[in-house]
Structure 1
Amino acid sequence: MSTIASPRDRRPPSNLPSPSPSARPSTDSVPPVLSPQAPLSPPPKRKNRAALREYYNLRRAAPQDDAAAAEDARSEVPPSELDAHDFDADAWVERKLDESGLEELLRVYTRVLGEIRALDAEKKALVYDNYSKLISATETIRKMRANMDPLDPVASALDPKIAQIYSQAEKIRDDLRESVPRTDETEERRRTRELAREVLAMPDKLRALVSEGRAEEAAAAWEMPRRLLVIWDERGLGGADVARLIEEGDGILEAGSGSSSRTSES
């Protein structure tokens, strides 16, 4: 009698090694296809040109008028008749001397003096601002020279031009240092001479006011010039002419007050 054979176990033996993950074909082991990378930054020459164009505002040449208008709007001095294109300084001074009294003249002088000082301050600020920009540009060019490859033929060709710009910047700096103080001293002397001429003409105006019976107005007009003359006399400015003007003005007012009192008594 034959025996029935049991079915064969088709499971693989447990001692056979199982395929590891590294043995399986996978896309991870396939070398990636290298694609050409785009340059992250422009070449040095193009980068330097772009920096120069951006620094000198070559792309924004059109809005220059708007920037100038905004700069004028920031001025502390309001526009007046002195800013007119056909302004005549001599005629304006003569008209003020003829139409205004001493108090009004001193008020105008104080206002104009304040405006002149404000404009001088704005001029100095503008000069120093442009000077700082020039120095910044020079320093930028110097750093560019240090960073550029000396073997580059373009850089070698630019060396003489950059050296010339640097020397011109130093010359402009020296000229600015020499010119600004001299301008201030000349303007100060001119204003002092104008004030001295106004004070010298004061006795004649006092006589005219006293002769018209306006002694009180003459006394009010003499107050500020007399104070200025006393300061000059204490500082030793003007010599004997200052003391003579003080005595002359006081004498005119005393004579005017005496005549007005006699007129009131009669």
Structure 2
Amino acid sequence: MSIASPRPSINLSRRTSTSTITSTRSPSSSRPASIRDSTNTTANSTPVPAPSRRRDRAALREFYNLQASDAAKAPPAPITQQQQQQQQEDTTPPDALAVLDAPSFSADRYVQELLTSSDAEGLLRTLNSITISSLGLEGDKKALVYDNYTTLLSATKTISKMRENVDPMAPVTTTLEPAVGHIVDVAVGISESRKGGGKGGSKEGDREVVRWVLGAPKRLGKMKEEGRNEEMEKQWDEVRTLLEKWEGVKGVEEVRRKCEEVVGKD
């Protein structure tokens, strides 16, 4: 009977494989760290745009009353010493861009002055500033176009909703038109009949009015005896108005005199 050789320990094999994997991954895990360090260094070395470069964009937003984005409303992040130093080195004087907005600006003269007064580094800075300002204005122009387009779409939707609300009322308005026309015709007829009655009226009505005026002195005297002075004054005003219209007609002055004797002259 032969004795079998002992098997290798499972724990020992696992430790060996684990150490191998760890040693294999350690170089690769160190590489992303170096890459991240280089990325952070590159991000920190990016120059921060100066406030003067956003001058035209701010003016355009203010003129067209464009709302600033949430990022613009947020408080600015603190600037590190390295960023501040790079910003000072890469900042173009405000006058360099203010000249472009002058009414008497001449492109040829501006270029000649830059070539004679600036070195290569200054020319690159000026070119960079002008390019950034141009890109900013282009972005604001697109934002303005988009804002106007959004307003147009909103107005179109509003008009469509108004039409949808008006269309169901079309049959109702069509039905009301004949009724309104009939009411207008009736009103015109009533108005004309009133005017005709005021101008001439029937002969019988005129006779009744004349009889009423001729009997005014007796009625006024009776009202005065009964103490109805207010009613007497009111009726006397009506009679006097008719007498003034009939001025020159025979018998009018006599009726006026009798009424004034009862009421008394004003």
TM-score after normalising by structure 1: 0.28
The structure in which a higher percent of residues are helix is 2
Could you say which structure has the larger radius of gyration?
A: 2
TM-score after normalising by structure 2: 0.28
